[in-house]
Each structure stands twice: as C-alpha cells, then as structure tokens.
Chains A and B, each alone.
Chain A
Amino acid sequence: MHENAHWSATANGHWTRRTRIALASLVAALIAARAHGEDVIPRLTNGKPDFSGIWQTTSAAEYDLEPHSARKDAPPGAGVVEGDVIPYLPEALKQKQKNFAARATDDPRLKCWTLGTPRGIYYPEPFQIFQRERDLTLVFQFGHSVRTIHTNGTLHPADPDNEFWLGDSRGHWEGDTLVVDVTNLTDQTWLDRAGNFHSTALHVIERWKFLDANTIEYSATLEDPNVFSRPWTLNVILHRHREKNFQLIENYCYTLDYDEYYPFPQSR
C-alpha cells in the first residue's frame, strides 16, 4: 500500500524522506514529553530559576483566605489555608470579626493603599517579576507598587524599626525553590477582604517554586505571636499571563478621587 510505504523501509533498505521526518518528529515529541514538568523551566545564566514574567492567581484567596460560601461581596472559595482555619488568639479573633463586619468601609484596599505581603501576590490583578541574580523586582499593577526580593546574601536592615508596607524581603535558593524571609512590616495592611489581619510582629516565609514553566507554586507561612497562636501556611498557584502582548497597565487608583480636576480642559 502506498500509505504503508511512509512508515517502512523501501525494498532496498533505505528510509524514505517522509519516514525519516516522521521518526524525527516522534523522537522530538518524546523528548518534549519527558521534559514536560521536569526540567524545562526558565533559568538565569547562573542556573537559578527565572521567574520573570507577568503572574496572577485564579484563586478566591483575596476575598477570604478561609473557606467560605458565596456572599454578595465574594465568590465562594474552598480556602487556601492549610487546615482551613487561621489560628487566631482569642482577642485577635474578636478584632478579626470586627474587621469582617466593617469590611465594606475599613479594608485598606478601598483607599488603594499598598496591599502588603503576602496579599499583593494573590490580589486579582497581575504583577510582573523582573529578575537579576542579585534580586527580584515585583511591580504590582494595583497601585504600581514595587517590592524588591534580595537574593545576594544581604541581611535584613540593621535598623529593626522599619515598618514597610511590603516588608523587607531577603531570599535564598534551596534547590529550585526560592525561600524568602519577610520582616519589618507595618500593621496597616489586611490579609484579604474578609478582615484577616496581623501586627507589626508579622514574619512571613515565602516559598516560590515552578510547577511547570508557566505555573508557580507559592506558599507563605505567617508567624505573628501577637495575633496567631501558631504559624500557619497558605498556598496559591500563580499562572503566567500568556495572552498576546499582555502587559501591566499601571493602576494608581488612589488618584481617581481627584482625577476629574486634571488635566487642563476641566479648568478652561
């Protein structure tokens, strides 16, 4: 049969051209399949994973880190907290409940204030990672705020009194996992729209790891002896934006309150 000839040697023992092409394609596909999910992740020239790109979660973490059914201001979500429940100390739990009741007015997000760490990571707007050997720069579309994760062996600032909105971030590599120690945080940020909160004693340990070339497994362990009875961990998946020509569009939303006064035509 003519068709079979494409997949077999000719009578004189030579492969036909189409057969050679078919075999080459098969080998390439096998290589790709074997590599998928294992080894083909972007890397810097120093061999470390390269998280450069634009990322966003599809989870409902921003609405409420804990499991919740649908409500008017939030889609339902199974929660992203290991063990489902954030282990508040009794007094802190009362504060959380007050925050929840006042969430329509008291969430710092509503003023477009810098979201904090880890909230900026799972807020439902994209953020972009720019990476060098010495650091990762995270630019968040929301507020266009900038966070630097240092990976050059430097320590937290000697001055322990800084209260940064995104914290001071020092990272190191454990294999292909980026482990980031975050301290020096303000207490002015919330962890989500449900009023989960923390104090200035918050200490966050993040773990960033490629699940595949376009997906990051992100976890954050939160310690805060003023608020939580023990450390607890949240997990979200971050997806790479692969839409054609996708890019951040700066969102300085705190300027919207006076937007109408600028630029000039309004004063003509």
Chain B
Amino acid sequence: MLVARSNPHFFSLFLSAIACAPVWLFAQEASRAPGGETTRWEHEVPVIHSGEWNGPRLTDGQPDVQGFWSNTIANHNNWTDPQGGEPGDTRSRPRKHRAPSRVIDPPDGQVPFQPWARALQQEFAAHLYNPVKPQYIEPLARCAPGGVPKSFIWHGYEIRQYPGYVLFLFDSGTRIIHLDGKPHLPANIKLWNADSRGHWEGNTLVVDVTSNNAKARFGRSGEFASENVHITERFIFSEDGERYNYVATFTDPTVYTRPWTAIIPARRRGVGEPPDGWHFSGELANAPGQPPFFEHYERICVENNGAFGQVAAPAQHASSSGARP
C-alpha cells in the first residue's frame, strides 16, 4: 500500500461537513453517521495491481467477492476534492491535507471538460443550495438512482454473484452486470444505471458501460457526462479479498476534450463492525445459534417522501423521517 496523502484532521472536517448542510435532506444523512465512523476519512489510496486471483471462487469460476462494501474516501459531496466538502464549503482544511482528486488522469486531477461544459458544471455547483431552476436539483435528492459512478461514493452497498451475473445492491438503485455474453441493449435505450457487460480477468472485473442516461451527477459538485458517454470500469480486488479499487475511464467527445480516468477505493464491511446506516447498513440476521451475519433489508425512497434509499420504518408513512436509527 502507498500513502497518497495524509489528513490528520479528518474528524474536524467531518464536523464541518455536518455544520454546513443547510438542507434537511443532507442534514438528515449527516446525522446518521455516529461518532467514530471514520471509513470515509481514509486518506490512502491503496495500490492494487491487476493479476491472478487465488482466493475463493464460485461454482462457475468467478472470484467470490460477495458481501458488504463501502467507499473509503469521503462521499459524493465533491468529485475532484473528495474531502473538500460541498460546493461553497469554506471551512475545509488546506487542500494538501485532504485526499487527492479521484481523477488520476489527467494528472491535474480535473475532469477535462470542454469550456461550455465546465461552465455548466460550475453553474450546477453554484446552485446546489439555491436551485432556482428544476435542473439544479441534484437528482439523487429526488430519489433518482445514483447511477454510474456516483453509486460507488455514496452509501455502502452489497455485491451478490450468480452464474452469469454480478449484482450491486445500492441504497439508491441496483446494477445488474451481465457476464452472460448477451449483447448491449440497443443504443437508443438510456438508463439511470446504464447497461453493463462484464467479464473477469484474474482478480479484475472488467465492465463495459453504455446506454447511460447521463441524468445523474457524479457529485454535488456537478460533474456530468452526456448520453454518449462510454465508460470502461475495472474492479481490481486485492489478494486478501478485503479491498478493491474501482478504476473507470470516461470517454465522451460531447462533453470532454479527452478520455479521463478516476479511481475510487473500497473495502469490505462485515462482522465486527457495527452497522452505521451509512457505509454499512446491513442488519443482523435472526439466526439463533449461528455466528452473526448480516442481511440487506429492502430499500425504498420515493414511497417515504424522503430521499436516500431508506428502509421501511413503522408508522411513518409519507413522513420525512423514515431513517433508521
């Protein structure tokens, strides 16, 4: 592992992120992170090389990477300055004390937008808390799926695998990765979670992503793609199966001046770590006499009139407080 950047002030950053969340939706999310939750404040991007897989396999030969997972560096507040807070957050620590940009190519860490697209991204960022037009409202706040790639920097999620498929169960949205050899959907079909065709190369799940409806933003900082975007994802799993790096290359001549690449580190969550409703929202199974293990409860959102993929809560129909404690 290599230390990319270090940040000894992560907890004060965390507090400042809470303090400047003026929208109830956002405050509600922040309030669900108990003290001591530090997953999102790691400041290392582990180096994991593509190579052979020597870990457990499923009956169909796939590396077995099932279970609960979470991003380890910040959240969706800011795509290129993950620990810099939402747009307008002036209370962050100096840039050099925060995790690096998710963009690893180009080397300046910025999305290579065409000028008009850069201006639009900045317009979105400037209006995050002043959404005077409907399009300024972040779609996730309307219960829309997080989409690709935002789903990987939001809450924790579960991976389930089957012969021919890898499923990602996010708090907002579900992705079905086809390993079954079926062709991509026709290009005129556009989807929140896009259309994903994958295969395994050793320890790496390689996924070709098309048909992205490009309605989801990458972060509250407003980065976006167009419907023409083509994404190649590489999920590179560590030898011990406890980590993976998501490395995605975005090609979209409609919006960018050149292809660019981002990295999102993730680690496994599970027994021994209390669920926190954020990075890890598994529920202990009711299995008397068995060692503890976790289940993934149903996710709903629009039905509760509250964002963020809540699970059902008793006697709170149509209320805005359906979050679990």
Contacts and interface: CB of A to CB of B under 8 A. Distances in A.
Interface of A: 45, 52, 111-114, 128, 130-132, 137, 139, 144-148, 150, 152-158, 161-166, 184, 186, 188, 245, 247-250, 252, 254-255, 258-259, 261-264, 266-268
A59 B286 CA distance: 36
B169 interface: yes
B52 to A, nearest CB: 25
Given A130-B162, A148-B296, A155-B288, A161 B314 contact: yes
A254 B143 contact: yes
Given A146-B174, A147-B298, A247-B185, A252 B144 contact: yes
B183 interface: yes
19 contacts: A131-B162, A137-B167, A144-B174, A144-B193, A146-B298, A148-B295, A161-B314, A163-B313, A163-B314, A247-B182, A252-B144, A252-B173, A255-B142, A255-B144, A258-B137, A258-B139, A262-B135, A262-B214, A264-B120
Contact of A164 (B183, B286, B312): B312
Interface string B208-239: 00000111000000001011000000000000
B215 A262 contact: yes
A252 B190 CA distance: 12
A155 B224 contact: no
Interface string B278-313: 000001011110000001111110110000000111
A162 B300 CA distance: 13
Nearest to B164: A52
B176 A248 contact: yes
B268 interface: no
Contacts of A252: 144-145, 173, 192
Nearest to A251: B191
Contacts of A152: 285, 287
Given A148-B295, A250-B193, A130 B317 contact: no
B295 A146 contact: no
Given A113-B302, A146-B298, A249-B191, A258 B286 contact: no
A165 B303 contact: yes
B140 to A, nearest CB: 11
Category for how many chain B residues contact A: 35 or more
Contacts of A130: 160, 162, 165, 167
A245 B35 CA distance: 48
B317 A188 contact: yes
B59 interface: yes
Contacts, number: 139
Interface in B146-182: 160, 162-163, 165, 167, 169, 173-174, 176, 178, 182
A155 B137 CA distance: 41
A193 to B, nearest CB: 18
A193 B226 CA distance: 38
Nearest to B193: A250
A184 to B, nearest CB: 8
A101 to B, nearest CB: 22
A141 to B, nearest CB: 11
Contacts of B287: 152-155
Contacts of B303: 113-114, 165, 188
B162 to A, nearest CB: 5
Contacts of A245: 182-183
Which 7 pairs between the two chains have the least Cβ-Cβ distance? A262-B215, A161-B314, A261-B134, A261-B135, A155-B286, A267-B135, A263-B214
A114 B174 CA distance: 14
A137 B160 contact: yes
Contact of A150 (B59, B182, B192, B295): B295
A125 to B, nearest CB: 15
B96 interface: no
Given A155-B287, A255-B144, A165 B160 contact: no
A186 B298 contact: no
A146 B295 CA distance: 13
Nearest to A189: B303
